[in-house]
A and B are shown apart, each in its own frame.
Chain A
C-alpha cells in the first residue's frame, strides 16, 4: 500500500484543509454472518478534531467505531475486508496486537460502565494493567485523569468509595477519566450522553470541547444538535454506507445529498 497519508488532505471538504489524519480507512466492508453491515467505507479521521457520526438506528454507526479499536471482533460471526491504517500501520496486520491498538485508541461506551471497584481503582485500572505499580505515579495519573474529565472536585474526597455510588453523569465522566488514564491518542465515544440528563450531557459536551485540544475524538450521536454543537466534521451514515462526510457546518447548512437533507430536517430516521 502507498504511505502517502501524512499531510494528505482530509477528503471532500468544501475548502480543502491540510490536516494530518490519524485513521485512513479504505474499502472497509463488514458482515455479521450474511448481514452486510458496512459497505465500502472510505473515511479519514483528522487529528485533534471532533468527528461526529450521525444516522438512523441500525445504520452501522456503532459497528463502524468498534472496528477502529477492533472491539467488533468480539462478536464471533463478524467478517471484515479492506484496510484501516492507524498512523501508518495497518491495524489488521497480525504483528500489530489488539492490546497495543486499544491502548492508543480508547473507548467510552453508551451506558456508563464503571468496574465494581473504588473510584481510584477504576481510574488506576488502565495504568495497572500496563504494569505501573508505583503508588506515586498512580496517584498522579488518577488525579490528572479525573481533572481531565472534569470530575476531580466532585470525587476527590471519596476516591476509595465504590464507583456505583456516583450519579449516572458522574459515572460517565469517571469512565472518560478511566479512558484518559491510559493516555490514548484517539478517543471513541458511542453515544456517551444518551443515558444522561441534560445537565450531565452539557458537562460531557464541554468536556469533549476541552479534550480535543489533546486528543482526536470520534463521537457517535443520535442528537443532531449535539453533533452540530461539538463536532468539526460530521459523517452521515445510512444502511452501512457513508452518504456524506464533510465539515459540520456545511453538512448541516448545505448538505449535498438529498438523503442527508431529509435526515437532518427530520423527514425520516
Chain B
C-alpha cells in the first residue's frame, strides 16, 4: 500500500499555492509602502529645494538674507572633516580588524573585546560627541576644530569599519591562506599579499558606507562645538568649522519660510554626495567581486 495518499496531496495543492501567492502579496505590499513614503519625501524636497538650487547657492557663504545664503562653508567643512575621518578610521579600523582576525588568540578576552566592538556600533552618536568633547576638545586641547571634529567622527564609525573589515577578512577562503603558508610565506607576507588584497573590496565598501553615515551626522559635531553660522572656510586643521547637516538643521529651525526652502536645496546636495559615495561602494563591490 502506498504511504502517500495521492487524493489528499491533490486536495492540499490548491491551498498551498494560495498561501504561496498570499505571502508574495504581503512582501510586495511592504516594499510598496516604503517606496511610497520615500517617493513622497523625495517629491517634497525636490519641490521645495529645486527653485533655490544654483551655482551661487553652492559657492556662497551663509547669510541673513535667504536670496544670498549658500552652503559653501558647510560643504567645504564637510570635506575637511572627511579628509581627517577617512584615513584615521580606515587605518585604525583595518588594523584592528587584522589584529583580531589574524593575530589575536581566540580566548575569552578577545571574545569580550569583540562583543564590545559590536556593541559600540550601536551606541548613540551623541555619546561619541561627549567622548570627543572630553578627549579631543578639552584634554588634548584641540578646541572646537576640524581636527577634533574629524577624530570624533572617526571614533563614531570605527566600530562599523572594524566589524565590516573583519567580515571581509573572514570571507577570504582558508584554502588560499594555506597555499601561501604551504610555500613558506610568513604570516605578514600572507596577510599583505593574499588576505588583504582579497578582502580589500569588502573593506572599502564597508568603509565608504560608514563614511557616508558620518557625512549625515549632526549630533556629535554639535557637542564638539561646530559652529552653526560660519562665513569662512576652514584654513587648517585647527580652524573652526561647520558641516552640511548642521547648516541644514540651522536653516530648518528658523521661522522664515524661505530658509526652509534653502534647507531643502541643501538636502538635495547632501543626497547627491551620499548617492555618489554609495555608488562608488557598489562599483567597487562589483568590479572587484572575485570568484572563490
CB pair A109 B181 closer than 8 Å: no
| Alpha-carbon gap, A126 to B292, bound state (A) | 20
Question: How far does the alpha carbon of A125 sit from the alpha carbon of B192 in the complex, in Å?
Answer: 12
Q: Inside 8 A of B14's CB, which chain A residues have their CB?
A: none
B173: Cβ under 8 A from any A Cβ: yes
Q: Does B185 reach chain A (CB closer than 8 Å)? A: yes
A-side contacts of B178, CB under 8 Å = 71, 74, 109, 113
Q: Do the beta carbons of B183 and A113 come within 8 Å of each other?
A: no
Ordered by A's residue number, 28 sampled pairs between the chains whose C-beta atoms are within 8 Å are A69-B182, A71-B178, A71-B181, A76-B106, A98-B184, A99-B184, A99-B185, A99-B186, A102-B181, A102-B183, A102-B184, A103-B184, A107-B182, A111-B175, A113-B175, A114-B176, A115-B176, A116-B197, A116-B198, A116-B291, A125-B183, A125-B193, A129-B183, A129-B186, A175-B179, A178-B183, A179-B183, A182-B184
Chain A residues with a Cβ closer than 8 Å to the other chain, count: 28
| Those of A96-147 within 8 Å (CB) of chain B | 98-103, 106-107, 109, 111, 113-116, 125-126, 128-130
A43 within 8 Å of B (CB atoms): no
Q: Which residues of A contact B116 (CB under 8 A)?
A: none
Q: Which residues of A contact B106 (CB under 8 A)?
A: 76
CA distance A131 to B180 in the complex (A): 15
The interface size bin for chain B is 20 to 34
* Chain B CB within 8 A of A32 CB: no
* B175 with A109: CB separation less than 8 A: yes
Which residues of A have CB within 8 Å of B110?
none
Contact between chains at A164 and B291 (CB < 8 Å): yes
A109 to B181, CA, bound (A): 12
A130 to B292, CA, bound (A): 26
Main secondary structure of the interface of A (DSSP, over half): helix
Residue of A nearest to B288 (CB): A116
Q: Nearest residue in B to A122 (C-beta to C-beta)?
A: B179
- B130 an interface residue at 8 Å Cβ cutoff? no
- The B69-100 residues at the A interface (CB cut-off 8 A) are none
Residues of B within 8 A of A126 (CB): 183-184
Closest to A110 in B: B175
Q: Which of B179, B185, B193 contacts A109 (CB 8 A)?
A: B179
Known: A71-B178, A102-B181, A125-B193. 13 other contacts (CB 8 A): A74-B178, A99-B186, A107-B182, A109-B175, A115-B194, A116-B176, A116-B290, A125-B180, A126-B184, A128-B193, A129-B184, A164-B290, A179-B183
Interface centre among A71, A76, A113, A178 (most CB of B within 10 A): A113
Task: Tell me, yes or no, whether B63 is within 8 Å of chain A by CB.
Answer: no
Nearest B residue to A116 by beta-carbon distance? B290
A106 to chain B: which residues have CB within 8 Å? 182-183
Nearest A-chain residue to B192, judged by Cβ: A129
B134 within 8 Å of A (CB atoms)? no
Shortest C-beta distance, A16 to chain B (Å), equals 34
CB distance from B199 to the nearest CB of A (A): 11
**Is A115 a contact partner of B182 (Cβ separation < 8 A)?**
no
Report how far A98 CA is from B190 CA in the complex, Å.
14
Task: Determine how close the nearest CB of chain B comes to the CB of A62; give it in whole angstroms.
Answer: 12
Query: Across the two chains, which residue of chain B brings its CB closest to A165?
Result: B291
List the B side residues contacting A179 at CB < 8 Å.
182-183
Report Cα–Cα, A100/B290, bound state, in Å.
Answer: 31
Assess whether A182 is in contact with B179, with CB atoms less than 8 Å apart: no
